[in-house]
Amino acid sequence: MNKRYLRLATSIAASTVLVGSLLALAPQLPARADTVVVLSGGSRMAGTLTFDFGTVTLTGVQQTASGTLTLSGVGDATGSGDGWNVTLWLSQLTDGSNTFPLGSIVTQAGAQLGPVSGCNGTCGSTTTITKVGAAQTLDPQTGASGAVTLLDAQAGDGMGTYNFTDTVTLSIPADAHATTYTSSANLSINDGP
């Protein structure tokens, strides 16, 4: 009886070694792994607006100062590719007692901007942001209903974030007071071109 168990044990051990050897020689199939990435849309960003006219010395006559409008971080992180437009309205410049006339701040006539200076990160090389072509008065009337469109991105364009710089002019009346003037800005980014 002991021989029988010994033969059976030996047969089982030999079979195990044989199967193990055959498995080691069999081609190994790669493990299957699926990679799934779910991207959710963010939002549109109107960006940060600054104006810089520097310091202007009054001359006693009406004069025009040239300055820079900078819009940093405007763009679309929604992932929709639906396009967008940026509008801006400025209140009249005032020091609290004295106010510049309406229409004192004007953008220069525009052109196609084609990627706007510096897409932050990697954006498509075909991205085109359009600056509205005609010179625009940024403080045209009282109330935000006077907002003007500065930029637009057609459907399929404008994904990512961008920086925009434009030249603006300031008409300074001959009777302007030597003080600091301020204006309130209403800047928004809207759906669609």
In a domain, 3, yes or no: no
Q: How many CA atoms lie within 13 A of 8 on its CB side?
A: 5
Say how far apart CA 151 and CA 58 lie, in whole Å: 33
List, for residues 15-51, the tens digit of each pLDDT value.
Answer: 554 445 545 555 666 677 788 888 888 888 888 888 8
Amino acid 174: pLDDT:
95
Domain total for the chain?
Answer: 1
d(CA 94, CA 100): 6
Give the DSSP H/E element, type plus range, for residue 155. Answer: none
- 186 pLDDT band, cuts 50/70/90, is confident
What is the average pLDDT score of the chain? Answer: 76
Q: What is the mean pLDDT of residues 113-117?
A: 45
**DSSP 8-state class, residue 4:** H
CB 152 within 8 A of CB 83: yes
In a domain, residue 72? The reply is yes
35, part of any domain? no
Full domain range(s) for residue 101: 44-191
In a domain, 21, yes or no: no
Residue 14, helix vs strand vs coil? helix
- The answer to whether residue 26 sits within a structural domain is no
In a domain, 110, yes or no: yes
pLDDT of residue 113: 46
Q: 10 Å Cβ neighbour count for 124? A: 13
Q: How far apart are CA 126 and CA 96, in angstroms?
A: 46
pLDDT in tens, 57-113: 999 999 999 998 888 888 888 888 888 888 888 888 999 999 999 889 888 776 544
Neighbouring residues of 52: CB distance < 8 A, sequence distance ≥ 6: 67, 68, 70
Q: How far apart are CA 184 and CA 181, in angstroms?
A: 11
pTM over 0.85: no
Is residue 88 in some structural domain? yes
The whole-number pLDDT of residue 118 equals 47
In a domain, 37, yes or no: no
Question: For residue 165, what are its two tokens?
Answer: 């710089």
pLDDT value for 18: 45
